[in-house]
Structure 1
């Protein structure tokens, strides 16, 4: 169990470093190349900083789980997607002291309500947030967010 928690923390740290490394003041954009998600708190903090900075977010690869919170925090007008972009959504969940995962229905509802209407509608048409990963990509994603130039 301890080893699994350490691996999770390392994955989260790598994802955050990758996101932060993509911040380029000369380009004024944050490029998400690959984020598996992780603990919500660090993502909320990072995306609040991005929102306050005025930088544009380029989703250029997988943005899964907690990474999708960028859609709730950064204005839609400052988000664009490339052909490689994939957004992955699932229900909120936590891990108890014994390492067992359990559902967080209230958190799932709060997250769903925070997403922009077009994203909420897409998720709802696919059965809502469940333990199953829903992947939004390609034409469906480009119908919601503009392609990056």
Structure 2
């Protein structure tokens, strides 16, 4: 089976900040008294500048150097198996996921694959849910109850509750966005970085069951 090309991800790599450890010092013992006063004044100004610079560098370093974030901006879904593989790798990478646009259909598997604290949403984020389906004998789309239940079971409890209150997963698309989504996931900031915690070695929830539905479509 040929895998679909991922067009919904944009990788943004953070750059490691460096600070030159060679600092210019003042040797007042070699200067005349007037010159010494001037050098002391310059030294104080320089120290203020270097102190501010060092604070900025430490702040950047605290964010986690050379970590990556994955941005989902316009992902309409596809084959379940493709997304199971994609998110399994992403889970192990330790990267943070920024949802900054549409994440629909099979894309929403990310909610069950990636730890909750490694997902954030922007004001543009929209999640789209619907039942899994496959092609029937006559070539028409047919809902797959088994695959649909697997998907529903792997969503976080808050998301399952929200879906359940709206009739569950059906062929009709349900959109989760705005304040309701922001109440479930933390907001993204410009300095969002990958979590420093090591990625869990646990397998993707329901990965074995989802393997049996690799051929199902979620368009």
Residues 1-149 of structure 1 aligned to structure 2 (within 5 Å):
12-13=4-5, 16-19=6-9, 22-26=10-14, 27-96=67-136, 98-149=138-189
3-state DSSP class of the match of 1:88? strand
The structure with the largest helix share of the pair is: 1
| Unmatched segments (≥5 aa) in structure 1 | 1-8
**Structure 1: 4+ residue segments shifted above 3 A:** none
CA contact (8 A) 2:87 2:114 kept: yes
| Unmatched segments (≥5 aa) in structure 2 | 15-66, 190-219
3-state DSSP class of the match of 1:91? coil
Residue 24 of structure 1, CA deviation: 2.8
CA contact (8 A) 2:7 2:75 kept: no
Aligned length: 136
Q: Which has the larger radius of gyration?
A: 2
3-state DSSP class of the match of 1:33? strand
Residue 123 of structure 1, CA deviation: 0.3
